[in-house]
Structure 1
């Protein structure tokens, strides 16, 4: 069996001088605390602090990176024990699902998932041999036994991983019961929420009208009127801020924004509530709501994150069988220059506003995003995201945006993950790649070593705290 390959100089440059510089930079930041300001871990883990159950439910079931690759090679989601929304039976034995995963582990060669998983297996669980068919059950039994101990409870792992702060993400209608449970424990300062209002601003959703009614009942506002609807959103933002939120998040198909007159807004709102809106109306409503959310961020100071450019649930039959986050999303092209112009015309020069832009369309890095962030005071660039959260993706990001936007119009790294145990591995990859990029600049005499050491610290820790207003 093959040993796990985790060379101490992994991801560093090949030439000795630059590699030595990268290694020195990395050593200066490798043990800095982790700031995880945007992600999708389950808040119940931290509120209840209960042990995880088994290796399959921790590593396979919640991780779309894992089952996406397996599905591409003919492994059905039901055979991995992933529940179906249509109620049909799926594999109930987690050991069988784990064996199937191990049988196909070779598929992940040279992928970010392989690097993250190997790091977790080695550094967290002490495994020395690479996962394969022969050692699958030894892996499963060892990991599952470790998960049953107190040192593997979520809060203990937060300390072990040196995670200073983690932000979860909840919809506008979420009762925040798990965050409420954290209040007064001291953990409410380390586990905070993020306001994601897609459930009440995306008029294309089947449950949109029902959700607007729920929003009214939750806030005591008349959400059948445009004014009452906006007041209800302001009230929900206030509740989220009371539970630690410093940021909002918006997962729209495009970066389109709009600046309609009050009368036009009221008429559009009436159409979407009456289910008389066209597809163009639904897009226009989402566009207007991004501008409304920016205005509310000017009022209350919340940082705004925009994650556009994903064709959600591209595999519709699979989505119908397994539900959200199982339909395999695909990146699409995004027009930021034209899309954001109405919002930026209105709020782009606001010094108090911070909007963090993400993209799955890498062609926009140097052509659109870097010039926009390199000019508008409110704009910052989020790190390489999702499909590009990889060594090469991170390098492409730095190479294409730094010359125009610099370092200080970026926000460090965030892991954007549901896979809790992979967080240290993901941040380690980002730290290594940033140090590699800085070392190259030093080797080319474009940056002094003193500047590089300071920038390594900024990219690892300080920029994220500043951008997400976590300095308190």
Structure 2
């Protein structure tokens, strides 16, 4: 494999390409701010070596193993955890060879770009990865992982990460965050409040989760007032460990603002397990509005990540559990769905809501116009299936004309794959530089403004939006 092309993702027109390269050079080495993701805080707490290359690159990365599974490669053979916490295949080298045999399946995907970047920039491997080089890669990466400079904290510092946010359930005791804080290590790893297990009546074990929720918070969460108080208590606890945001992964963007009696009655049905699907969605929608009210009080930024039919395969959900690549984008309505929340609190200057979507048709039609007028709304970046050069470019093209740059929040990598973090931010900075260069070359933005916006998109906007 030749070294990565220094001009990758830049325009082909020579003058615009030069401008893009110059803009990129001005932001390339800025610190990484990662305000939403799913890396394991235990990595930073224990600072133990990563076990082997397969567990670093393959088993935690659903972008990788979902593609291989689509071509008939078993998740068991790739060492992906089962729902009971066990693995069928535990031989890292065997998993790695299988990965290498099927690496060609990732051609043209963002995953291929991220992996090639990681192999070269993190581990100094310039050869093309595949079956013929699999063992050399495995041996070299394994040797690196045994060295102190490849432990999680050292890589955190080497990657230039200023702050990274993990995502925890309110049932989590945050022990790893406590260990990080008590260790004296200066790396900033903070948490985010993700209450899905106790706000979604369709989440497995909901009633038991709510009971445990109350026990942890020291209140009776099986009463409506006690339930809301438990959220306030746990949110405050999460803030002690740096939380500046909550995060909500609902199936839809539906919000509700129910009268008290209806909210109480629905809560009681949820605890009894008798909610219809529509009633469960109504309850989730009402809780988004309750969370928004709490955000006004405690300052946590409210993130809404709707529009995924999560765990689409029932058999795979039963066998391997959640977050194993079987989440599929769906059509999402925002104009009607968000109106109850926006009518209740949407013009309150103390509220900050960051909206994400997996329905790209909503950007120009709904999301950009909403964020372009409501002071509480900001647009999250191209996310998940659209965390790609093309998706990022489409995001800028379809939102800037209505929402501008300053109703967006920069970039976040939203990843479980640690070594992909610098690669993903590099792609975002290249794509934004290319877009800004195009605006300059077509007379829509002054050159000095482009350099300022590049800094904003790469660094300043995310810090402001997430109160970091």
Give the TM-score of the pair, scaled to structure 2: 0.98
Secondary structure, counterpart of 1:410 in structure 2: coil
Query: Where does the alignment leave 5 or more consecutive residues of structure 2 unmatched?
Result: none
Structure 1 residue 92 displacement after superposition? 2.2
| Partner residue in 2 for 1:467 | 465
Over 3 Å counting, the alpha-carbon distance change for 1:400 and 1:374 in structure 2 is same
Partner Cα distance (1:335, 1:187) in 2: 44
Structure 1 residue 86 displacement after superposition? 5.7
Deviations 1:389-417 (A, max 9, x none): 00000000000000000000000000000
1:428 equivalent among 397, 407, 426: 426
Deviations 1:154-205 (A, max 9, x none): 1111110000000000001100000111224444761000000001000012
| Partner residue in 2 for 1:178 | 176
Q: Is 1:455 the counterpart of 2:453 in the alignment?
A: yes
Contact 1:4–1:129 (8 Å) recurs in 2? yes
Partner Cα distance (2:311, 2:267) in 1: 26
Secondary structure, counterpart of 1:454 in structure 2: helix
Deviations 1:419-455 (A, max 9, x none): 0111000000000000000000000011001000000
Structure 1 residue 323 displacement after superposition? 1.1
Secondary structure, counterpart of 1:84 in structure 2: coil
Q: Is 1:400 the counterpart of 2:398 in the alignment?
A: yes
Deviates more, 1:380-389 or 1:274-283: 274-283
Partner Cα distance (1:151, 1:137) in 2: 22
Contact 2:335–2:366 (8 Å) recurs in 1? yes
Q: Is 1:153 the counterpart of 2:151 in the alignment?
A: yes
Secondary structure, counterpart of 1:249 in structure 2: strand
| Partner residue in 2 for 1:221 | 219
Contact 1:4–1:122 (8 Å) recurs in 2? no
2:190 equivalent among 189, 192, 204: 192
Contact 1:188–1:243 (8 Å) recurs in 2? no
| Partner residue in 1 for 2:413 | 415
| Partner residue in 2 for 1:91 | 89
| Partner residue in 1 for 2:254 | 256
| Partner residue in 2 for 1:205 | 203
Structure 1 residue 83 displacement after superposition? 2.7
Secondary structure, counterpart of 1:99 in structure 2: helix
Deviations 1:28-74 (A, max 9, x none): 00000000010000000111111111100100000000100100111
Partner Cα distance (1:88, 1:224) in 2: 33
Partner Cα distance (1:188, 1:122) in 2: 27
Over 3 Å counting, the alpha-carbon distance change for 1:127 and 1:327 in structure 2 is closer
Structure 1 residue ranges, 4+ long, deviating more than 3 angstroms after superposition = 86-89, 184-189
Partner Cα distance (1:4, 1:417) in 2: 27
Structure 1 residue 84 displacement after superposition? 2.2
Secondary structure, counterpart of 2:253 in structure 1: coil
Contact 2:157–2:187 (8 Å) recurs in 1? no
Partner Cα distance (1:469, 1:176) in 2: 21
Secondary structure, counterpart of 2:317 in structure 1: helix
Equivalences for residues 64-83 of structure 1 within 5 A: 64-83=62-81
| Partner residue in 2 for 1:290 | 288
Partner Cα distance (1:104, 1:271) in 2: 48
Structure 1 residue 276 displacement after superposition? 1.8
| Partner residue in 2 for 1:377 | 375
Secondary structure, counterpart of 1:195 in structure 2: coil
| Partner residue in 2 for 1:28 | 26
Partner Cα distance (1:262, 1:342) in 2: 15
Partner Cα distance (2:22, 2:352) in 1: 33
Structure 1 residue 277 displacement after superposition? 1.4
Secondary structure, counterpart of 2:163 in structure 1: strand
Secondary structure, counterpart of 2:336 in structure 1: helix
Partner Cα distance (1:181, 1:87) in 2: 23
Q: Is 1:281 the counterpart of 2:273 in the alignment?
A: no
Partner Cα distance (1:130, 1:231) in 2: 55
Contact 1:4–1:118 (8 Å) recurs in 2? no
Deviations 1:1-24 (A, max 9, x none): xx1451000000000010010000
Deviates more, 1:29-38 or 1:263-272: 263-272
Partner Cα distance (1:439, 1:307) in 2: 30
Give the TM-score of the pair, scaled to structure 1: 0.98
Partner Cα distance (2:47, 2:295) in 1: 33
Contact 2:334–2:366 (8 Å) recurs in 1? yes
| Partner residue in 2 for 1:358 | 356
Task: Let me know the Cα RMSD of the aligned residues.
Answer: 1.1
Partner Cα distance (1:128, 1:86) in 2: 38
Partner Cα distance (1:89, 1:220) in 2: 36
Partner Cα distance (1:285, 1:188) in 2: 41
Partner Cα distance (1:356, 1:18) in 2: 32
